Chains A and B, each alone.
Chain A
Amino acid sequence: MALRNILGKRFGVGLAGRRPLSTATCDVESGNAKAINLYSAINQALLIALETDPRAFVFGEDVSFGGVFRCTTGLADRFGKARVFNTPLCEQGIVGFGIGLAAMGNRAIAEIQFADYIYPAFDQIVNEASKFRYRSGNQFNCGGLTIRAPYGAVGHGGHYHSQSPEAFFCHVPGIKVVIPRSPRQAKGLLLSCIRDPNPVVFFEPKWLYRLAVEEVPEHDYMLPLSEAEVIRQGSDITLVGWGAQLSIMEQACIEAERDGIFCELIDLKTLIPWDKETVEASVRKTGRVLISHEAPVTGGFGAEISASIVERCFLRLEAPVARVCGLDTPFPLVFEPFYMPTKNKILDAIKATVNY
């Protein structure tokens, strides 16, 4: 696997290899559906949110002209500057402001331009947003707050345009963390997040903004939070992942099948509170589990899943829990292909786990 590749070729392969996942088992009624990409799906969700709730607001850096990923195109024109507006460059301010807005009963949809920039707002999210309801004895809450941020590798993002910070937020009781894998999922999940009465951090896989294209129903629909989805049935090993990584894992599943290994693939969708029951049921069937995410392996959310599954399924497990994740280094610049949990690394781990 560790072949030296000249810059460019590797990225070419990586990009071509990322196919969108089909959501064949999705229980959304397909009314009129059109093939659109991820940023258009998110745009539709935001439009519906603004349309259906006159107290919904979308704000963030550069959202007015459509945003750097075009997720907010046309919203300012349609709903006006009082509801869709730019903020100055201050993440801490954006989230704090959003918490206040939500505390007054509004739906504040805040955008952080890249998840890598969310850290100035970390204090506001952890110390204010997540604890507001709890510490006020339910007098106040900021449930109307949804924070959207593009996360994940993009092929050339380097240290500050590629991070996956979901693990930091999964450690905070009081907020929800949701990550969609495809356009149809994104629209439904985002609408659920916006309408959920708890503050939510919604990470969007930026690699898929243009790349993932899927039939997305045009009407208003929601997908349930805290429900994981089995997107591929199998009997030999359970694979758990979220977001863009699932398409990589699916490729590994397809290749493993050629070797007679049938993998069950689960999309967690909501990371906290996560659907332990679905994962447990699957592991009870297969006896093996592999978790994969882009974030560094130590302290990543895979560690939580691993510990919980071992707790629940210890006697059923046939092999140790495998984690195929990013390496324990800062997200590198030229070394991205080596850092990433690629299909081959996953395939290797699947085989090692099955043959344990």
Chain B
Amino acid sequence: MALSHLASSSSRSGSLLKPLSSAISLRRPISTDTTPITVETSVPFTAHQCEAPSRTVQTNANELLTFFRDMALMRRMEIAADSLYKAKLIRGFCHLYDGQEAVAVGMEAALTKKDCIITAYRDHCTFMARGGTLLEVFAELMGRQAGCSRGKGGSMHFYKKDSNFYGGHGIVGAQVPLGCGLAFAQKYCKDEAVTFALYGDGAANQGQLFEALNISALWDLPAILVCENNHYGMGTAEWRAAKSPAYYKRGDYAPGLKVDGMDVLAVKQACAFAKEHALKNGPIILEMDTYRYHGHSMSDPGSTYRTRDEITGVRQERDPIERIRKLILSHDLATEKELKDMEKELRKEVDDAIAQAKENPVPESSELFTNVYAKGFNVESFGADRKEVRATLP
């Protein structure tokens, strides 16, 4: 036991002694040790109409360090986006995910790229978890060509077709029936894959959710409805909007599971369980008990409807990154300095991506007219007086 620790620590410090040039910044000094480590989730799962999975989770050093890195990167990215917004480089609406990173990262760990994910507007980190790059994120936020949606979507509309990330939706709740449609297609094509449709506690009161759930249950679709319950629908606390804030039970005839959304291992366990369940038995609801540190969007200070004590309390007690850090340190998988160095490296990665994104040009003005319809169906552009057709654009 002690020897294997020594072996891994020497391989790690070896790689860390190399100079941190930008080329090296792409190579993570993460242990590749896959010796299983057993951890218990923070709280047991609460189940509705099904048997809860065990709270004992198998993980390993490699996975834990990857979780740490990914979540720390997301955190850094969101904070950088905050500064960019205040500097007016990002305009429009910007909904930040910091605090909720464990949901995106844990979910991704339980899935393959064949599974579909669809979410609402708080999508920057979900996009990253699906394999997006920092440049694509910052360029899209600033409305530049290199953005994942070519600069035409903005913060709320990130998509990644090659990893089945169906985005990025502004209208609350509208993505859930869509998600169930994706699940139908997967079942029909015998993909052996599932769809995770994410929504918030505010959206949980939308009628279309229940319509979608009914259809999914009726036709046994492999749809997993994930309620990211951060307890506030913009400025309205959950108890003021919902008669029953036990969102995992709202499916009634559909089973549900309540998960500590700040514990990435619990999220991973629950999502793996849900995937298996959905492939056999149809829809299941996962309620992720999570929290966002920022307000609803950059226009919302986030402190008019909740106390600062509450926010600092969650940061101290339940922060997902700190939890993994403690786990890593207590299992001696890395030293505190190594983790801090990793965070510094990530900070540099983020800064580099921002610098690159700033240089990127805005889309061509002709892009205003592209993709309104499929190519070949023209959108006409008139001069100011509408008297003559100036151009027929693709």
Contacts and interface: CB of A to CB of B under 8 A. Distances in A.
Nearest to A342: B384
B20 to A, nearest CB: 34
B372 interface: yes
A335 B365 contact: yes
Interface in A316-356: 320, 322-324, 327-330, 332-335, 338-339, 344-346, 348-349, 352-353
Interface string B139-165: 000010000000111101100000000
A8 interface: yes
Interface string B290-307: 000000000000001100
A89 B205 contact: yes
Interface residues of A, number: 50
Contact of A333 (B143, B235, B365): B143
Contact of A7 (B173, B241, B362): B362
Nearest to B203: A89
Contacts of A8: 88, 91
A158 interface: yes
Interface in A80-109: 86, 88-90, 92-93
Given A68-B234, A297-B386, A353-B385, 17 more contacts: A2-B365, A7-B91, A7-B143, A61-B234, A86-B241, A89-B172, A89-B173, A89-B236, A116-B170, A159-B157, A322-B385, A324-B386, A330-B372, A332-B368, A338-B365, A345-B384, A349-B386
B202 interface: yes
Given A86-B236, A88-B205, A160 B156 contact: yes
20 contacts: A7-B91, A62-B234, A65-B304, A89-B233, A92-B207, A93-B207, A116-B171, A120-B207, A156-B91, A156-B92, A160-B156, A297-B386, A323-B386, A328-B380, A333-B92, A334-B154, A338-B365, A345-B384, A348-B384, A349-B385
The 3 closest A-B pairs by CB, nearest first: A352-B385, A160-B170, A348-B384
B386 A334 contact: no
B152 A333 contact: yes
Interface centre among A92, A158, A329, A330 (most CB of B within 10 A): A158
B387 interface: yes
A320 B387 contact: yes
Interface in B76-132: 88, 91-93
A328 B372 contact: yes
A329 B368 contact: yes
B393 to A, nearest CB: 10
A335 B367 contact: yes
A334 B152 contact: yes
Contacts of B172: 89, 117
A156 B234 CA distance: 20
Interface of B: 88, 91-93, 143, 151-154, 156-157, 170-173, 202-203, 205-208, 233-236, 240-242, 304-305, 362-363, 365, 367-369, 372, 379-381, 383-387
Nearest to A66: B304
B305 A65 contact: yes
A65 B385 CA distance: 45
A157 interface: yes
Contacts of A329: 368-369, 372, 379
A348 B385 contact: yes
Nearest to A330: B372
Interface centre among B91, B240, B379 (most CB of A within 10 A): B91
Contacts of B152: 332-334
A4 interface: yes
A1 interface: yes
Interface string A1-39: 110101110010000000000000000000000000000
Contacts of A269: none
A85 to B, nearest CB: 9
Contacts of A116: 170-171
Contacts of A346: 384
Contacts of B203: 89
A183 to B, nearest CB: 22
Interface string A117-151: 10110000000000000000000000000000000
Contact of A117 (B171, B362, B367): B171
A206 interface: no
Given A90-B205, A334-B143, A352-B385, A160 B171 contact: yes
Contacts of A324: 384-386
Interface centre among A156, A328, A329, A334 (most CB of B within 10 A): A334
A293 interface: no
A327 B368 contact: yes
A251 to B, nearest CB: 15
A161 interface: yes
Given A90-B206, A158-B156, A161-B93, A61 B236 contact: yes
A61 B362 CA distance: 35
Contacts of A93: 205, 207
A1 B242 CA distance: 50
Interface string A48-73: 00000000000001100100100000
Given A89-B172, A90-B205, A333-B92, A158 B154 contact: yes
Nearest to B243: A88
A7 B141 CA distance: 13
B384 A334 contact: no
B206 A89 contact: yes
Contacts of B151: 333-334
A304 to B, nearest CB: 16
Contacts of A4: 365
A344 B383 CA distance: 12
Contacts of A90: 205-207
Contact of A334 (B88, B362, B383): B362
B368 A89 contact: no
A161 B236 CA distance: 20
Interface centre among B88, B234, B372, B384 (most CB of A within 10 A): B384
Nearest to B140: A333
Contacts of A160: 156, 170-171
A195 B202 CA distance: 32
A176 to B, nearest CB: 26
